[in-house]
């Protein structure tokens, strides 16, 4: 028996209206939008990231610091890359949706990813996610930082081995949720995309466990293969899945290594990831 809705919800139309009213409120800020370039190359993305950080930090009641990380920070970005910003917020109730209301409307149409943390969440995140800790320690560019609080957290020494172990355990749990192959009804695209992303995180965590920090996304699988040769066949199989991940992210992708409906190949990829997670 269907029940009446007990929770308020926003329809597409209401969401659209919300966007319109938000834009209208921002009319006074329209002049500022001209400062925001279309981010089509690294230098433009870096400039845009700084402008966004300046805008966010002008709301000191909400934002404490902003750092750029990911492919743009590494200057490895492509046309479809997100600008990944870590935002240190004053309280946990502030999320990406609120932060986007601080930005001019033409920014929200670009690929900007806002990862929000309070200070305690970020400290905990770095203690339990070696790949996050490595990313931030190796590549984060601090764009805004009230009182140096964000910089202090990023540069506080942590036990990377412990963080790697915690992350691997969490990723193993995530993989468990993917195991039931019947749930995909014969189309494994989203499974393969997730398996690739989880595997990439596993690789970073294993490298952290080996005290290896000199790698990038293009070489991480190969670097781990050199150090853990018994895992090489699995790593090779998992690295091949990248086009599935690119496809789901609307990133221009190379040809898929096999069909998204290939049951045997999907099952093998999942097994390879589970092998890696338990290595």
Partner 1 sequence: MSSIAVELFDRVDEFAECLTANPKDFWKDKASNESIAVFCENFFGQFFATLGAPIAGFGVKAKEAAVRKRLSLPESAAPTRQLIAEYEDLCEIWDDIKGARYVEDREAMQDFACTYLSALLEDAAGWLATLSSPDDKLVLARAEQCWDKYQEAVKPICP
Choose one: 30-38, 148-156, 177-185, 263-271; the region binding partner 1 (CB under 8 A). 177-185
Among 65, 104, 125, 243, binds partner 1 (CB under 8 A): 125
Residue 75 found at the interface with partner 1 (CB under 8 A) = no
For partner 1, the binding residues in 131-160 under the rule CB under 8 A are 131-132
Residue closer to partner 1, measured from CB, 69 or 234: 69
Alpha carbon 229 to its chain's center: 28
| Cα 49–Cα 54–Cα 60 angle in degrees, nearest 5 | 130
Residue 97 found at the interface with partner 1 (CB under 8 A) = yes
Q: How many CB atoms lie within 10 A of CB 109?
A: 8
Candidates 202, 201, 192, 188; CA nearest to 244 is: 192
Contact present, 178 and 197 (Cβ < 8 Å) = no
Residue 34 found at the interface with partner 1 (CB under 8 A) = no
Residue 170 found at the interface with partner 1 (CB under 8 A) = yes
State the Cα–Cα distance between residues 248 and 160, nearest whole angstrom.
31
Contact present, 84 and 114 (Cβ < 8 Å) = no
Q: How many residues bind partner 1 (CB under 8 A)?
A: 52
Residue 182: CB minimum distance to partner 1, A: 5
Residue 20 found at the interface with partner 1 (CB under 8 A) = no
Residue 183 found at the interface with partner 1 (CB under 8 A) = yes
Residue 98 found at the interface with partner 1 (CB under 8 A) = yes
Residue 215 found at the interface with partner 1 (CB under 8 A) = no
Candidates 258, 193, 202; CA nearest to 235 is: 202
Residue 278 found at the interface with partner 1 (CB under 8 A) = no
Residue 81 found at the interface with partner 1 (CB under 8 A) = no
Choose one: 31-39, 52-60, 185-193, 212-220; the region binding partner 1 (CB under 8 A). 185-193
Contact present, 192 and 266 (Cβ < 8 Å) = yes
Contact present, 92 and 63 (Cβ < 8 Å) = no
Residue 242: CB minimum distance to partner 1, A: 14
Among 127, 194, 240, 242, binds partner 1 (CB under 8 A): 194
User: What's the chain's Rg over C-alpha atoms?
Assistant: 21
State the Cα–Cα distance between residues 279 and 274, nearest whole angstrom.
8
State the Cα–Cα distance between residues 72 and 255, nearest whole angstrom.
24
State the Cα–Cα distance between residues 225 and 177, nearest whole angstrom.
26
Residue 129 found at the interface with partner 1 (CB under 8 A) = yes
Strand order in the sheet with 112-117: 112-117, 83-89, 63-69, 141-145
Residue 92 found at the interface with partner 1 (CB under 8 A) = yes
Choose one: 60-68, 116-124, 153-161, 215-223; the region binding partner 1 (CB under 8 A). 116-124
Residue closer to partner 1, measured from CB, 230 or 250: 250
Residue 60 found at the interface with partner 1 (CB under 8 A) = no
Residue closer to partner 1, measured from CB, 92 or 233: 92
Residue 229: CB minimum distance to partner 1, A: 27
Contact present, 161 and 155 (Cβ < 8 Å) = no
């Amino acid at each position: 028996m269907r029940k009446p809705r007990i929770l308020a919800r926003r329809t597409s139309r209401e969401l659209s209206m919300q966007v319109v009213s938000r834009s209208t409120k921002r009319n006074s800020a329209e002049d500022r939008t001209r400062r925001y370039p279309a981010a089509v190359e690294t230098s433009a993305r870096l400039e845009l990231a700084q402008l966004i950080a300046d805008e966010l930090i002008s709301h000191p009641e909400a934002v404490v610091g902003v750092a750029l990380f990911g492919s743009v920070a590494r200057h490895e970005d492509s046309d479809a890359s997100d600008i990944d910003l870590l935002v240190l917020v004053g309280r946990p109730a502030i999320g990406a949706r609120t932060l986007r209301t601080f930005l001019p409307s033409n920014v929200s149409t670009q690929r900007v990813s806002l990862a929000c943390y309070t200070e305690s969440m970020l400290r905990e995140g770095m203690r339990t996610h070696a790949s996050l800790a490595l990313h931030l320690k190796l590549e984060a560019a601090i764009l805004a930082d009230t009182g140096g609080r964000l910089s202090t957290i990023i540069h506080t020494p942590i036990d990377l081995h412990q963080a790697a172990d915690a992350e691997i355990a969490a990723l193993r749990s995530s993989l468990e949720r993917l195991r039931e192959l019947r749930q995909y009804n014969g189309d494994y695209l989203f499974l393969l995309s997730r398996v690739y992303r989880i595997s990439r995180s596993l690789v970073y965590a294993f490298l952290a466990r080996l005290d290896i920090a000199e790698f990038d996304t293009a070489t991480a699988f190969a670097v781990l293969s050199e150090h853990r040769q018994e895992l090489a066949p699995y790593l090779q199989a998992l690295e091949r899945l990248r086009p599935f991940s690119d496809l789901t992210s609307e990133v221009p992708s190379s040809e898929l290594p096999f069909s998204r409906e290939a049951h045997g190949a999907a099952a093998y990829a999942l097994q390879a990831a589970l092998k890696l997670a338990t290595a």
